[in-house]
Amino acid sequence: MEMMGLCLSLVMVMVTVMVLLPLCHGDGLSISTQNLEVSKQLKRLNKPPLKSIKSPDGDIIDCVHISHQPAFDHPLFKNHTIQKRPNYHPLGQIAEKKVSNVKVKSNGGKSTVISQLWHTSGRCPEGTIPIRRTRREDLLRASSITSYGKKKHKTIPKPAAAAAATSANPDIISQSGHQHAIAYVEGDKYYGAKGTMNVWEPRIDQPNEFSLSQLWILGGSFASDLNSIEAGWQVSPDLYGDHNTRLFTYWTSDAYQATGCYNLLCTGFIQINNEIAMGATIYPLSAYGANQYDISILVWKDPKEGNWWMQFGSQYVLGYWPSYLFSYLADSASMIEWGGEVVNSASDGQHTTTQMGSGHFPGEGFGKSSYFRNIEIVDGSNNLRAPKDISTFTEQSNCYDVQTGKNGDWGNYFYYGGPGRNPNCP
């Protein structure tokens, strides 16, 4: 009898454990609750498509009616009338000597337009926009389901106050593990910026790290009220589940606290273009010592409506951020930055080996280093012009560095990037 009682007790314990174990998962959500939250989030993000396209990289691109995109889920956008085109383009953008969004060959030859990989499988019809489908595994990789598609705090370099802040608050310099190599201008009112950058596939050390190259349109302070519009290319295994180089955008109006997100993962950016998908793979890419491929990005404020528009290359006007999303940027920007950013999450005292740009230092030059060329700002008269008094900033120049220059073809340019950990960056 005692033996039978012991067996029954063991069975009861095992049954209890088997029942309770599945109820806890991740951040304390039961599996059933988590499944419900994931399903709700996927339904919110993935709108019913009129057509779906399978990309060679495994992505599904859904062609969604322009009026059904995620931006219009928010009450703030309930009565918003889609602006089909900007009222004004910045003057002077056609004057660039080298056509943007093409292959740059040092030995001459035919140029090839950079595209997105999903184009090899089809295109979206007029009246729709292409949206990269969010998968269940994308959400489960995030630290929480609700944080998917959002940056962590303090991911903007703060060059102007860097020296003064070092002793008082070292975290402002380390940016919670974020490191940069940038060129920047400040001290004026800016109404947009442009830059042409070559595109690489930098190596990422840890899945929670990323490497990107972008331009920043900034307004406000670097505390709780920072306004930022960002656009460029990135490699982010945590966000996309792979190591592909992808076009991206980001925005925030409160220093990444509650507002903003990548691409179309929340209310904010309104897309009007049916040919380019935010978050989709860019192809082809630059190779060390071989052909260099670059993309051009222009962000500017429409003088009439006040919305901030984005253009990719010389022909794709992608969409806009409504001015009422912002406080400071509702008027103008106070700082423009161009350059690279990586996450250094190493906890063993060694620097990450995550590469920035090509993974090579600026001194190696064309064909080997990453670059921004023809960098310009938009002034109060809606003219594209060369920026004045360009400064540079990097937290650790022996890990990632930046070097500026100027010539007739490339205007104001700079090389930037690096390998991360190396003999001089332990």
Q: Determine the average pLDDT of the residues in 41-51.
A: 96
pLDDT at res. 31: 82
Closest-CA residue to 229 (of 258, 186, 273, 191): 191
pLDDT at res. 184: 98
- Between 203 and 154, name the one with better pLDDT: 203
Q: Distance between CA atoms of 315 and 100, rounded to whole angstroms?
A: 10
- pLDDT tens-digit series, residues 21-39: 343 444 556 788 888 999 9
Q: Distance between CA atoms of 27 and 425, rounded to whole angstroms?
A: 36
pLDDT at res. 389: 96
- pLDDT tens-digit series, residues 121-151: 999 999 999 999 999 999 999 988 888 999 8
Beta-carbon contacts of residue 368 (< 8 Å; ≥ 6 apart): 288, 289, 358, 360
Per the CB < 8 A criterion, the answer to whether 370 and 198 are in contact is yes
- Helices (DSSP H) in 216-324: which residue ranges? 237-240
Tokens representing residue 66 in the block: 């322009």
Catalytic residue among 96, 201, 209, 230: 230
CA 327 remoteness from chain centre: 21
Percent of residues, the chain, with pLDDT higher than 70: 83
Is 341 an annotated catalytic residue?
A: yes
> Minimum mean pLDDT among 106-110, 278-282, 346-350, 373-377: which range?
106-110
Per the CB < 8 A criterion, the answer to whether 169 and 321 are in contact is no
End-to-end CA distance of the chain: 67
Using CA of residue 241, residue 245, residue 251, residue 255, what is the dihedral sign? positive
Tokens representing residue 336 in the block: 């423009």
Q: Distance between CA atoms of 169 and 242, rounded to whole angstroms?
A: 35
Catalytic residue among 201, 337, 341, 376: 341
Per the CB < 8 A criterion, the answer to whether 189 and 295 are in contact is no
Q: Determine the average pLDDT of the residues in 218-227.
A: 90
pLDDT-based confidence at 88, cuts 50/70/90? Answer: very high
Which residue spans within 124-210 are E strands per DSSP?
128-132, 178-190, 192-198
Q: Determine the average pLDDT of the residues in 269-298.
A: 97
Q: Does 193 score more than 80 pLDDT?
A: yes
Q: Does 418 score more than 90 pLDDT?
A: yes
Q: Does 422 score more than 60 pLDDT?
A: yes
- Residue 164 half-sphere exposure toward CB, CA atoms < 13 A: 4
- pLDDT tens-digit series, residues 296-318: 999 999 999 999 999 999 889 99
Q: Does 154 score more than 80 pLDDT?
A: no
Q: Determine the average pLDDT of the residues in 370-399.
A: 97
Using CA of residue 403, residue 408, residue 412, residue 414, what is the dihedral sign? negative
